[in-house]
Amino acid sequence: MNERLDLPQGTLDLLILKTVALEPLHGWAISERLQQISREAVQVQQGSLYPALHRLERRGWIKAHWAITDNNRRAKYYELTRQGRKQLEAETTAWRKLAAAVGHVLDLG
């Protein structure tokens, strides 16, 4: 539990974009998916997911619609927009570059 990492600034957005890239998901599903794919290593306070979702929606990278879930409940689904896909690609590349560069520097030491 203690080894969980706090997310660096801005990475939450990237992770959300990645998560909704495959299929439209509602908030809780995104939260669950994040936990799973990050193997519970990343500490995301569930609540702080929502401000991030709303911010991304305002920017037009994801869009939301209300739909009925499998258990017949109304939920707000988020999906990636075309603009969001571009953003995801750009951020992924940037992140890889940064990670490689930081790793390189650390290896030098």
Partner 1 sequence: MGRDFLYRLRALFHRRAVEAELDDELGFHLEHQAEKYRQAGMPPDELSRRLRLDFGGPDQIREECRDAWGIRLLRDCAQDLRYALRMLRRSPGFTAVAVLSLAIGIGANTAIFTLIESTLLRPISVKHPERLRLLMWTAPDGGWTAPNLGYVSPTFGTIYEQRLTSDKAYMHAEFSPPVYRAIQRDNTVFDPLFAFKELGRVTAVMDGNAEPVNCFLVSGDFYRGMEVSPVIGRAIGPEDDVRTPAGQVALISFEYWTRRFARNPSVIGKTITLNEVPVTIVGVNPEYFTGIEPGANFEIWAPLNLGVAVSGRSYLDEEKVWQIPMLGRLKPGISDARAQSELEALFQAAVASNPGPLDSMLKDPAKRPRFILQSAARGVDYLTERYDRPLLAVLSLAGLVLLIACANVANLLLAKSAVRQREISLRLALGAGRWRIVRQLLTEGLLLASMAGIAGVIFGYWTRNGIPALLATPWKPSPFDAAFDPKVLLVSIGITFLTGVLFSLAPVWQSRRVEVNDALKDGSRGTASLSKLHIGRLLVVLQVALSVLLLAGAGLCVKTFTNLRNMPLGLRPEGVLLFTLDPPLLRYPPDRIGALLTQLQQRLSAIPGVQSATFSGTRTGTSVATENHQPITFDNYARATDIGSGFFETMGIPILYGRAIDEHDTLNGPQAVVVNQELARHFFHQENVVGRTLKGADNVTYQIVGVCADWRFERLRDPFQRLREPIYPTFYNALIQAPRAGRVNFELKIAATEASVEASVVKQIRPVVRSLDSDLAIADVRTGVQQIEDGLAQERVLAGLAAVFGGLALILAAIGIYGVMAYAVARRTNEIGIRVALGARPGGVAWMVLRETLLLAAMGVAIGVPAVLVLSPVADHLLAPGWTDSFLYGMKPNDPLTIAFAVLVLAAAGLLAGYFPARRAARVDPMTALRHD
Of 4, 54, 65, 85, the residue at the interface with partner 1 (CB under 8 A) is 54
Does residue 92 contact residue 69 with C-beta atoms inside 8 Å?
Answer: no
Applying CB under 8 A, does 75 fall inside the site for partner 1?
Answer: yes
| φ/ψ (deg, to 5) at 76 | -95, 115
Please tell me the distance from the alpha carbon of residue 38 to that of residue 88, in angstroms, as a whole number: 17
Stretch that binds partner 1, among 1-9, 70-78, 85-93, 95-103 (CB under 8 A): 70-78
Please tell me the distance from the alpha carbon of residue 60 to that of residue 18, in angstroms, as a whole number: 15
Please tell me the distance from the alpha carbon of residue 6 to that of residue 48, in angstroms, as a whole number: 12
Applying CB under 8 A, does 48 fall inside the site for partner 1?
Answer: yes
- The minimum distance between CB 54 and partner 1, in angstroms, equals 4
Q: Which two tokens stand for residue 94?
A: 């940037």
- The minimum distance between CB 68 and partner 1, in angstroms, equals 12
CB-nearer residue toward partner 1: 57 or 91? 57
Contact footprint for partner 1 (CB under 8 A):
26-28, 31, 45-48, 50-52, 54-55, 57-60, 66, 73-76
